[in-house]
Structure 1
Amino acid sequence: MDKPDTQKDEVSLSPSSWLREVARLNPASWNISRCSRAALAVCLPMAVGHYTDTLMYTLWISLGSLFPAIGERDAPYSATFRKILTAAPIGAAGFMAGYLQTMGLPWTGIVLIMSVIGFLLSIASSYSAAISIGSLQFMIMAAVALGNPEIQHFWMSSLLVISGALFAMFLLLLEKWFRPHHPRRDAIVQVLQALSAICKQKLAHGDIEAARLQYNIKYEALYTFMLQARYRAVGRNQVVDQTAAIVQSLDRLFAALMARQSVDHLERLQPILQDITDAVLHERRYTGHHTEGCEFARELDDLIEALWDAKAVPEATGARARATPKQSLQLRLLLQKLTPGRSTVQAAIKLMLCTALGYSVHYFDDISHWYWVPMTVAIVMKPELGSIFVRAVQRMLGTAVGVVVGGLLLAYVPVGPVFILLIGAITFTLPWLAQRSYALTSFAVTPLVLVLIDFLAPERQGIDYAMLRLIDTLAGCAIVLVFGYLLWPRRHFSELDQALTDARKAIAQYLSQALANRSQPEVAQLSDARRAAYSKLVDMRAALQRSLAEPPPAGYEAAAWFPLVACAARLCDAITVYSASASHNPDPQEAAWLEQMPDAIEGLKDLPALPDDVLDRDTPEARLIASIYKETGVREQLYERVGQMPEKQLAPA
């Protein structure tokens, strides 16, 4: 059997591999409007407070404006507004925990109450991103309120934080009126650029796998945007229907691009794609190259028609039909969503335990800075943010540098115009840093929090005060690492196995749809199956990347599974090529063999025995059979090898 080509997926492992993953920086782009809004939202209330001697109050408004700036991502304005309106009241309600002390409850009772609240909020966080953000803000504000009883009027602080969130929304509304961004247009442009990147890599014989992965990610984002828009729409919506047609056209062009190798036609396709992308980006009609005689003419004409001829949009597409679920289906999905799974409950138990330990620090440390420990626990323990271990390490690194910056500000820069400008400069970089890494986010947020939250603390004396915060952060991270990570069994093998199983099922379903619709490659069911298969590959690769960032043995285990991702990706590409080039009248015997392949890919049956000459035939069906035999055989060999490796005895291959 041929040795699998895993050059692109090999991972060089050493004891420091996970450190490199911790230090990995994600790609990011500057959004000047977003950065400017964040700086203005935080600094303007501070300036007003400074010149009116109300800084003790306006700092809470700045804090309320800071939270939306940290979590803002590319999304429609309406979705961002709803997220803020949902998260801000939940977060501001955390101040009400301060009244637990005024009620005369013993500290043991407060610890138990906050632990139970942490458990419930962790469960609620699984319901939606907005609730998750609000729950995190609740835990932070509750720690601030319980750690600073001198606030006294907790309801006032709560209202001021909500006012800050509303101020951030007001600035966002001004942007929408005067300098709007276009998430739909931008999502379409990113998919077109990803297609162009695939074309370039094919011409240069480069890394098609990486380019295709980026396409899958961008296409999934556009598809999700379409479904969200359809869900929000009331009745027939022409823009949503047009988006659905564009999604289908882009998918057909992707399948054709993956299937065809002619250099001449690829060279002709490249400038056409660039012209279409420029036309969409600058909101003008396409007037570039003609598509006559191009091998991709049909797919390009369909895409151009979908982009610029709204009247040609079909009455309904498979995507549109799916995007309008019936009320009974919505109710069943809601009930399923409200029932937490095992992993969700386990994460909630971990948070409850670590929250109890974080608040128990107050038994030994009764000065005001102790509350940074439970606050750190809440931030690091958010399960949907990624690896707990990586987040703890990154927060320690980011905070270590951030406290120096914050300490220098508090020690040597008096509150005034220069101080506010420096805070504004840090806040301006925050949206960009939040995309790069969690460590850089912690670095930027730490000095801001030192100023905004801890202004009431009696120990705020420069570097010494900042060092207390560093010690508290280290203590919180230590609690999380020991009681939220190390003491719990970690089943990386089972997680990766489940990810591979899901991918195999999706690929098998994709092949089934390709075989059932070989004479109708444009049907929505085939497009849906293709999107689902590639989406599962993205999920599997993301799971492996998260495991690689963990310390041994998880990193070694992830490396052993990487070749399986490459095999699955090549198998998906082979099916995509076949879906665009299948014979209308295939050889009956070859067709019969292919009908057995979905179950073989899923693992329900063994590969059928074939005559030796089948793999040498030059038909679309025979080429697909050869690819399935090669990739599935490699997969089973590697799968058996990985499955026999004890989880705690994994070593570099």
Structure 2
Amino acid sequence: MTDPAHPLNPSAPASPQVPPPWWRHALSGRPHPVDRALVVRGGAGILVPLAVGQATGHPVAGAAAALGAYGAALDDVGSGSYRVRALSLFLPQLGGAAGLALGRLTGGQAWAAIVLMAVVAVVSGLISTLGRVSSMAGLVLLLASIMGLGMPPTGPWWQQPLLFLAGGLPLMLLSLAPWPLRRHRAERTAVAEAYRAVAGLLEAGRERAAGGTSSAPAPTPWPQARRAVTGAMNHAYDLLVVRRLRPPRDRSVPAVLTARLDALVEVIAAAPAVRHAASPPPPEYVQALRSLADAIEQGAPEAEFGRLPAPRTPEDRALRAALEHTVLDEAVPDEAAPDEGALDEGVRSTGPAPVVHRRLGPHTPVRTRLRTALGRTLRDPESWQYALRLTACVTAAQTVASLTSLPRAPWLVLTVALIVRPDLGTVTGRTLLRCLGTVGGLLIGYAALTVLPGAWPRIAAVVVLTATLQAVGRRNYALQTICLTPIMILLADQMGHQGTTLLGARLADTLVGCAIALVVGYLLWPEHRAPHVPDRLAALHHDLAAYAEHTRTPAPDPLDQHLLRRRIHRQLAALQEEFLRARTDPRLRATLDRYEPLLTEAAEKAERIAATAARHPGRGTASHTTSDTTPRTTPRTTPHP
């Protein structure tokens, strides 16, 4: 007789997993390469104000300025164009200075502090939905307002904001100093990385077509390689088109790079056919893309690669035709015939292009984009829901901080503000990471306060911790908190000389703040009790149906196909990111398990439609009819318990 509790008995109840799955997802870090320049800038940027303050006999002013350097270090993206980097540094610094000034306006009145934080939280929440730079500016505005409430009211009201701005200047200068000497380096690198990502996608397709029998190291799996292509293309288009203040001039480097990126779209469209082919394409096709990527990144006038063999299969012909626009001269006018000899000779010029084929429509002025984004935000119920939810949590925290005798109470409000923001993760996941990181950071802070005897060794500790934060902080919020906590402890000690008494205050404020965030921001006002995943999946399947229908037309418009395909893969990437983020919420496990098969099915349909369109351009795709891509919000499979 079978034991009902035996693990092989299918009717046996599943034993609880220890730790729970959402713990494992929250604790797992994301791979993030160490940017050595970012590490050096972070350490040097915070060293300057601390060293100047200590050397001139004004350590308190130096610590206040170091807060600006610390904020600039968190805002330093380390990548992207220098224009984007300047905005990412400048706007949050202005928001921080404004927040510190607002914090001084309350005059220490509890009711004024509560009202101020409610207003600032609404503004910060709405601003944060506009984009990445505005999100950072809104976050710094909120955090600086909280810090301004906790600053001692010494000196004129403008002193702290001015020190904050001055403290961030050294890091900003270090970050922007190479601009005149390295113009367009970020754009070249982004386009080159897009080419390498597509080469990796073709390699993943070659391995599948070959049946996985190659003795070479296993390439990246196809789904992961496809997500890498989407991310690389989005990043490159953002730098070259979306985030530009004005359109590039003809024959300029951004215009040429945009043409290179546009031409790569044809290779991406042909890649699914390679994946489903009976035999892999020649490896020289992949090497040609990598050679061109190296030439683009280095700014070389030509890219050299081996002779490209003739195509053997319909899939090879589709890929070869796409390479004619990429490896040959993707910027020639449409009516000009490609020079087949250049492909055979293996030489490709990367010089200025006579024509730029724009695939994203005409350039929209910045003022129009800002007005459109702001109007969309003010009309969006989800933006208001997030802003009001953030306001409720921050107001509750500020009320507790103002009406109780908790020491260093602003840390309590800071904890709530950092946990509740949805663009940083779920409340449950960040609460767990915040608690673990705070405990680890307090141990480091205790060691620094008790072992390091004087000011200069502690300044060195702050420099090392800031550099470490820049190296590993973006991988996991717990690692960020482990570095952040001792930095704040050491800076607060330099401003108030409270020693190890700060440790107990930090722990108490963190625990109370986490409790408020869990109760108000999760139990009473859940972020996503019923996620919008079904609606987004339905929109994705509608676009798949339109894509399939478009490929069945006798002469489909390549631009329309590209826009549909790009929108579909953006939706796939956004949904995959949302699924990954929601895995840290235990209440969403059943919902995610129910709808994840539909997300996988949508990704497979997109690849099959693209493969058929690449093999048979202009012919019907009978296997992908509208009925096959009809959106469903009810899964085929039985939901997991």
* TM tier, smaller: 0.7 to 0.9
Residue 528 of structure 1 corresponds to 563
- The one-letter code sitting in structure 2 at the alignment partner of 1:569 is A
CA distance in 1, matches of 2:417, 2:462: 25
Could you list the per-position Cα deviations for residues 45-92 of structure 1 after superposition, in whole angstroms to 9, with x for gaps in the alignment? 211222221211122222111112113222211111122222211211
Q: CA deviation at 1:568?
A: 0.5
2:433 to 394, 407, 411: 394
Could you list the per-position Cα deviations for residues 189-224 of structure 1 after superposition, in whole angstroms to 9, with x for gaps in the alignment? 222222222233233336322221221222222222
SS across alignment from 2:80: coil
CA distance in 1, matches of 2:488, 2:255: 45
SS across alignment from 2:585: coil
State the 4+ residue runs in structure 1 displaced beyond 6 angstroms: 326-329
- Of 187-196 and 357-366, the range deviating more from structure 2: 357-366
1:480 to 517, 521, 525: 517
Verify the 8 A CA contact 2:262 2:359 in the aligned structure 1.
no
Residue 483 of structure 2 corresponds to 444
1:48 to 36, 48, 52: 52
1:278 to 291, 294, 302: 294
CA distance in 2, matches of 1:583, 1:225: 31
Change (3 A) 1:153 1:400: farther
Q: How many residues align?
A: 587
Query: After the TM superposition, which residues 210-289 of structure 1 pair with which residues of structure 2 at under 5 Å, given as runs?
Result: 210-228=224-242, 230-233=244-247, 236=250, 238-260=252-274, 261=277, 263=279, 265-284=281-300, 285-289=302-306
Residue 560 of structure 1 corresponds to 594
- Of 227-236 and 373-382, the range deviating more from structure 2: 227-236
CA distance in 1, matches of 2:366, 2:495: 50
Q: CA deviation at 1:500?
A: 0.6
CA distance in 1, matches of 2:197, 2:180: 30
- The one-letter code sitting in structure 2 at the alignment partner of 1:221 is H
- Of 413-422 and 568-577, the range deviating more from structure 2: 413-422
Verify the 8 A CA contact 2:187 2:254 in the aligned structure 1.
no
Could you list the per-position Cα deviations for residues 492-516 of structure 1 after superposition, in whole angstroms to 9, with x for gaps in the alignment? 5441112212211222232233234
Change (3 A) 1:251 1:283: same
Verify the 8 A CA contact 1:318 1:525 in the aligned structure 2.
no
CA distance in 2, matches of 1:328, 1:77: 20
- Of 473-482 and 280-289, the range deviating more from structure 2: 280-289
SS across alignment from 2:525: coil
Query: After the TM superposition, which residues 94-109 of structure 1 pair with which residues of structure 2 at under 5 Å, given as runs?
Result: 94-102=99-107, 105=109, 107-109=110-112
Q: CA deviation at 1:545?
A: 1.5
Could you list the per-position Cα deviations for residues 78-124 of structure 1 after superposition, in whole angstroms to 9, with x for gaps in the alignment? 1111222222112111222343443x74x123212322221222122
1:301 aligns with 2:291: no
1:515 aligns with 2:562: no
CA distance in 1, matches of 2:614, 2:179: 42
- Of 147-156 and 342-351, the range deviating more from structure 2: 147-156
Could you list the per-position Cα deviations for residues 229-276 of structure 1 after superposition, in whole angstroms to 9, with x for gaps in the alignment? 554336546333323322222111122222132545243323333333
1:455 to 494, 503, 506: 494
Residue 582 of structure 2 corresponds to 547
SS across alignment from 1:286: strand
CA distance in 2, matches of 1:291, 1:546: 43
- Of 186-195 and 473-482, the range deviating more from structure 2: 186-195
Query: After the TM superposition, which residues 232-631 of structure 1 pair with which residues of structure 2 at under 5 Å, given as runs?
Result: 232-233=246-247, 236=250, 238-260=252-274, 261=277, 263=279, 265-284=281-300, 285-294=302-311, 295=316, 296-304=319-327, 305-306=329-330, 308-319=349-360, 322-325=361-364, 330=369, 333-334=372-373, 336-363=375-402, 365-366=404-405, 368-453=407-492, 455-457=494-496, 460-462=498-500, 464-489=501-526, 491-516=528-553, 519=555, 523-551=558-586, 553-582=587-616, 584=618, 586=619, 597-598=625-626, 601-603=629-631
Could you list the per-position Cα deviations for residues 270-328 of structure 1 after superposition, in whole angstroms to 9, with x for gaps in the alignment? 33333333333433221111235243333223213248445444254333xx1413799
CA distance in 2, matches of 1:122, 1:97: 17
Residue 12 of structure 2 corresponds to none
SS across alignment from 1:85: helix
Change (3 A) 1:272 1:130: closer
- The one-letter code sitting in structure 2 at the alignment partner of 1:118 is A
SS across alignment from 2:304: coil
Q: CA deviation at 1:343?
A: 1.8
- The one-letter code sitting in structure 2 at the alignment partner of 1:270 is V
Change (3 A) 1:212 1:335: closer
Could you list the per-position Cα deviations for residues 315-361 of structure 1 after superposition, in whole angstroms to 9, with x for gaps in the alignment? 54333xx1413799758724533414222222222222222221223
SS across alignment from 2:635: helix
Change (3 A) 1:362 1:527: closer
SS across alignment from 1:533: helix
- The one-letter code sitting in structure 2 at the alignment partner of 1:565 is L
CA distance in 2, matches of 1:396, 1:317: 49
Paired-residue identity, %: 22
Change (3 A) 1:298 1:311: farther
Verify the 8 A CA contact 1:45 1:62 in the aligned structure 2.
yes
SS across alignment from 2:32: coil
- The one-letter code sitting in structure 1 at the alignment partner of 2:306 is H
1:125 to 115, 123, 128: 128
Change (3 A) 1:491 1:334: closer
Change (3 A) 1:434 1:328: closer
1:638 to 635, 638, 641: 635
- Of 528-537 and 245-254, the range deviating more from structure 2: 245-254
CA distance in 2, matches of 1:195, 1:457: 55
- Of 203-212 and 216-225, the range deviating more from structure 2: 203-212
2:113 to 103, 110, 113: 110
SS across alignment from 2:98: helix
- Of 180-189 and 119-128, the range deviating more from structure 2: 180-189
CA distance in 2, matches of 1:636, 1:449: 47
Q: CA deviation at 1:40?
A: 0.2
Could you list the per-position Cα deviations for residues 458-511 of structure 1 after superposition, in whole angstroms to 9, with x for gaps in the alignment? 5x222x422320221111111111101111245454411122122112222322
- The one-letter code sitting in structure 2 at the alignment partner of 1:401 is G
1:188 aligns with 2:191: yes
Query: After the TM superposition, which residues 151-166 of structure 1 pair with which residues of structure 2 at under 5 Å, given as runs?
Result: 151-166=154-169
- The one-letter code sitting in structure 1 at the alignment partner of 2:260 is I
- Of 289-298 and 566-575, the range deviating more from structure 2: 289-298
CA distance in 2, matches of 1:513, 1:308: 34
CA RMSD in angstroms comes to: 2.9
Q: CA deviation at 1:637?
A: 6.8
Q: CA deviation at 1:597?
A: 2.6
- The one-letter code sitting in structure 2 at the alignment partner of 1:147 is G
Could you list the per-position Cα deviations for residues 512-536 of structure 1 after superposition, in whole angstroms to 9, with x for gaps in the alignment? 33234x6457x22211111111111
2:87 to 68, 71, 82: 82
CA distance in 2, matches of 1:332, 1:566: 36
